[in-house]
Amino acid sequence: MIRKLIFIFIFSFVWSSSFGQDEVSIDMFISPDTIGLDGQAMLAIVVKSEHQNLPTPHIPNLSMFDVTPAGTSTNISIVNGAVESSQAYNYILVPKRQGTYNFKPASLVYNRKRYESNEVMLTVLKAGQSTPKSIEKAATDDRTGENRDVFLAAQLDKERVYVNQQVTLTIKFHHAVRLLSQPDYTPPQISDFWSETLEPQRSYTETISGRRYNVIELNTALFPTRSGKLTIGGAMASVQVPDQSGGRSRDPFRMFDSFFDRGVTRTVRSQPLTLEVLPLPAEKKPEDFSGTVGNFTISAVADKTTVEVNQPITVTYKINGTGNIKTVAEPNIEESNDFRVYRASSDEKVSKIQGVVGGTKIFEETYIPKRAGKLVIPGVELNFFDPAARRYKRIASEPITITAKPSELGAYADLPVPNVAGRVIDPNSKDIRYIKTDPGDLEKEQPLILLTPLYLALNGVPLLLLAAVWVTRKRQEKLASDIGYARSRAAKKMARKRLAKARKMAKSAKPGEFYAEIRMAMFSYIADKLNISPHGMTGEQLIDIVSDSGADETTIESIRSLLRNADFAQYSSANIDAAKIQDSLDKAEEVLVKLEGIKFG
Amino acid sequence: MLISLFAAPTFGISADSLFSRANSHYQNKDYGKALDDYLKLEDNGFESAPLYFNIGNCYFKEGKPGYAILYYLRAQRLDPFDEDIETNLQFARQFMPTRLEGVQINPVSTFMETLVEPFSLNGLAWIASVLFILFLLLWSAKIYFGIDNTGSKIGLYILLSFVVVSSALTTYKYRTDYLIDKGVIVADEARIYSGPGEGNDIEFVGGFGLEFEVENESGEYYLVTFENKRKGWINKEYVEII
């Protein structure tokens, strides 16, 4: 007896410890989610609660199907002292017509509270076809014709959409064998699309060509960013599966091998998909169209409708609907004669309900009345393209009427700063203006560029360029107008040319020509420097000129020697050896260098 | 050091977010907290006309009109044509206890101020630089190609005049905004002495909002010139540089 009492006490304690938690959950499942007109699907509604004897849930409208109850099953579990029972209600559905059916939530009322399940979708194809052809094709090995153990299939829910209209990409990973590792998944390339992952990922079973597969399904909402034929690349998955290449064995102990089977890696890819993206129609496109696609509503709410002049009113604009909410642009609000307008903040919440992306975008604007009276904050317009209706729509929020009161107090009684006795304050302004809600270009203080090396260099370089151009131009002009100057400037260059020529002649065993060139080099150099003709000048005259110009004795002697050798080579038939020629050449070069340092004339 | 602290993960808030938070405090009439947040931004090197304007508003609401005028002037330096800044500055000036007599308006200075007001110093420097470089390049091309017609000369003179004007404006702006320190009295009352120290004669007593130019400094005192050309020494404790 005592033991019984203790058991009841413990059970009641455990039961009551979970009392007060509102824990009734209801879920709905459909399997498979695609059948042929001659097939059937199983609909299961599972109710979980710590309470028992819950009422039967109300099933959604299934008028398109013949519905046969397939019994219920109950499961009770005690986890960490909490008792939970789950009851599953099963129904067999036989379709009457092809189509895609969205089942509304199942519901249950308990303790005056209503609980609802999720929604599910069932696709009914024509008879004999329980899976889309693309998936059947993906399941079949082209070489052997047999069903693959694992494969990846991809499909789009539409073949043709407008720019920025949602299309859902479904990637299904099928496996008919046990997996030895988690699949390593690489999503497809989708460079021309915005994307939003649709959660959660689903798992279920599916029969394809008589073979049962476990399916992991991933859905992604895509919004094309341009028109044309766009390609969505293939997804890839790598996974380890049991190695069945050994075939059947008579070894009775082979069954233990599976425990130590490391498996083989299978990499599977889905086929790329093509989508036709239509441009938005040009006809009747609003001039201020901002590119928003979807279906939206707009509302505006003010935090107060009565305020004093110069005090703020915050108006919250909500844009709500389905479509790529992130690309919805902020409405254009201009300052009016009645209000100063400042942008306060913006926020967005993305929703993904039944695979459709939408949400709410919120903009807060601050309006400050400039004058007293009944003022109207005008409605704000939003235009968008509705792809379902295939036309542009323009909507507007309701205008908001506010009452701006003049300050009723003795003019500045509310001010924190004492008034100066006897001073008249401007009656038109009773208080300072409101703060600025936009921070502007809030940035660190910029250094002065005026004295930076970069600035100085940028301005200095063209100055140097100008100087160089000016000097060059002046030199060119002088060379063109003053022949003596030009000859004098070119004397050295000409003399070197002659010496170079003489150097070549030195190798040609023609001493006469060699020394003639040496002679001419010296005479021409002096003649150019003095702007006189070299012809008719004698050696003595040359020596005199060089001597009068202040050349040293060594240089004069070298010139004499060269002239003697030149005369000898010209008038004598005797051979002059190469060493002497080279010596003369060296001497001529030395003389030229010395002469360059002398100022002639 | 301050900058790195601000960027440290323990703050975890961007400049714009801090600004928004300060705005929320102001909207809730919590002017002290709003001022704290705005000043954090300033302490970390951020500046903008709206930031200074809002600081000015907070100081005014906190009953410190001297500091309000200081920050309105700082805001106006960054955005000379903002109507709100000018309105609040004039509104705050109405409460100044002391007004200067004998203030003469220099028409040349006023004219120059009007010319340079729309531009920042860096902006003027770049304009002058571009015109100068253009002038030099055109002159170089004229010399190099030997162009010597009247049209090219006139064009060059016109460009030269633009260079001279823009350089003059840049120099003026640099002098007035950076070489010359301008300040304002922020304390309710400040004595102006004939020398740098309390032992000297008192020239006059000024109130908050009086603006001046700093000519010199000695220890804790500035030698300042007010708009009516009166000079004197004032304790640094009672003033702020704009």
Q: Which of B23, B47, B136 has its CB closest to that of A465?
A: B136
Q: What is the CATH number of domain B2-93?
A: 1.25.40.10
- With a threshold of 0.85, tell me whether the complex ipTM lies above it: no
Q: Which of A417, A420, A429 has its CB closest to that of B60?
A: A417
Domain boundary among A385, A405, A425: A405
Strand ranges across the sheet with A356-369:
A294-302, A313-323, A356-369, A339-353
With cut-offs at 50, 70 and 90, classify the pLDDT of residue B223.
Answer: very high
Q: Is residue A440 part of a domain?
A: no
Q: What is the CATH number of the domain that holds A489?
A: 1.20.120.330
With cut-offs at 50, 70 and 90, classify the pLDDT of residue A9.
Answer: very low
Residue A356 has pLDDT above 70, yes or no: yes
Q: pLDDT tens digit string along A76-107?
A: 765 555 566 778 898 989 998 888 888 888 99
Residues A153 and A113 placed together within one structural domain of the fold? no
B27/A312 Cβ within 8 A: yes
Strands (E), chain B: 46-47, 182-185, 189-193, 202-207, 211-218, 221-226, 231-235, 239-241
Q: Which of B16, B94, B95 has its CB closest to that of A439?
A: B16
CATH H-level, domain B182-241: superfamily: SH3 Domains (2.30.30.40)
CB-CB contact of B200 with B193 (8 Å)? yes
Chain A positions touching B126 (Cβ under 8 A) are: 449
Q: pLDDT tens digit string along A124-164?
A: 887 765 556 666 677 776 666 666 888 899 999 888 999 99
Q: What is the mean pLDDT of chain B?
A: 87
In chain A, DSSP finds a helix count (H) and a strand count (E) of: 8, 29
Q: Which residue of B has its CA nearest to A314?
A: B27
With cut-offs at 50, 70 and 90, classify the pLDDT of residue B4.
Answer: very low
Q: What is the CATH number of the domain that holds A80?
A: 2.60.40.10
Q: How far is CA B126 from CA A19, A450, B130, B169, B180, in A?
A: 76, 9, 6, 12, 21
Higher-pLDDT residue of A566 and A185 is: A185
Residues A78 and A171 placed together within one structural domain of the fold? no
Q: What is the CATH number of the domain that holds A400?
A: 2.60.40
Q: Which residue of B has its CA nearest to A461?
A: B133
Among residues B181, B167, B240, the alpha carbon closest in space to that of B213 is found at B181
Chain B positions touching A441 (Cβ under 8 A) are: 48
Chain B positions touching A434 (Cβ under 8 A) are: 57
Q: Which residue of B has its CA nearest to A416?
A: B63
Q: Which of A312, A417, A473 has its CB closest to that of B63?
A: A417
With cut-offs at 50, 70 and 90, classify the pLDDT of residue A117.
Answer: confident
Residues A178 and A269 placed together within one structural domain of the fold? yes
Q: Is B199 exposed, middle or buried (0-12, 13-18, 19+ CB in 10 A)?
A: exposed
Residues A239 and A304 placed together within one structural domain of the fold? no
Helical ranges in A482-510 per DSSP H: 483-506
Which pLDDT does position A77 carry in this prediction?
60
Q: Is residue A52 part of a domain?
A: yes
Length of chain A: 601
Instruction: Choose the weakest-confidence range: A100-109, A119-128, A569-578, B186-195.
Output: A569-578
Q: Is residue A569 part of a domain?
A: yes
The mean pLDDT of A401-425, rounded to a whole number, is: 63
Domain boundary among A386, A405, A424: A405
Q: Which domain holds residue A305?
A: 299-405
Query: Rounded to two decimals, what is the model's pTM?
Result: 0.47
Residues A587 and A530 placed together within one structural domain of the fold? yes
A473/B144 Cβ within 8 A: yes
Range with the largest mean pLDDT of A108-112, A225-229, A581-585: A225-229
Higher-pLDDT residue of A417 and A551 is: A551
Chain B positions touching A474 (Cβ under 8 A) are: none
Which pLDDT does position A131 carry in this prediction?
59
Domains: count for chain A:
4
B48/A444 Cβ within 8 A: no
Residues A194 and A103 placed together within one structural domain of the fold? no
Q: pLDDT tens digit string along B126-165?
A: 999 999 999 999 999 999 888 888 998 999 999 999 999 9
Helical ranges in A96-230 per DSSP H: 133-139
Domain boundary among A354, A383, A405: A405
Q: Which residue of B has its CA nearest to A434?
A: B57
Q: Which residue of B has its CA nearest to A464?
A: B136
Which pLDDT does position A255 carry in this prediction?
53
Q: Which residue of B has its CA nearest to A455?
A: B129
Q: Which of A423, A435, A450 has its CB closest to that of B125?
A: A450
Alpha-carbon distance of A100 to A92, in angstroms, equals 17
Q: Is residue A432 part of a domain?
A: no
Residues of A with CB under 8 A from a CB of B: 312, 340, 344-345, 416-420, 423, 425-426, 429, 431-446, 448-450, 455, 458-459, 462-463, 465-466, 469-470, 472-473
Q: What is the mean pLDDT of chain A?
A: 81
Residues A120 and A139 placed together within one structural domain of the fold? no
Q: Is residue A520 part of a domain?
A: yes
- Give the residues across from A276 on adjacent strands: A160, A229
CA distance from start to end of chain A: 145
With cut-offs at 50, 70 and 90, classify the pLDDT of residue A16.
Answer: very low
Strand ranges across the sheet with B182-185:
B202-207, B189-193, B231-235, B221-226, B211-218, B182-185, B239-241
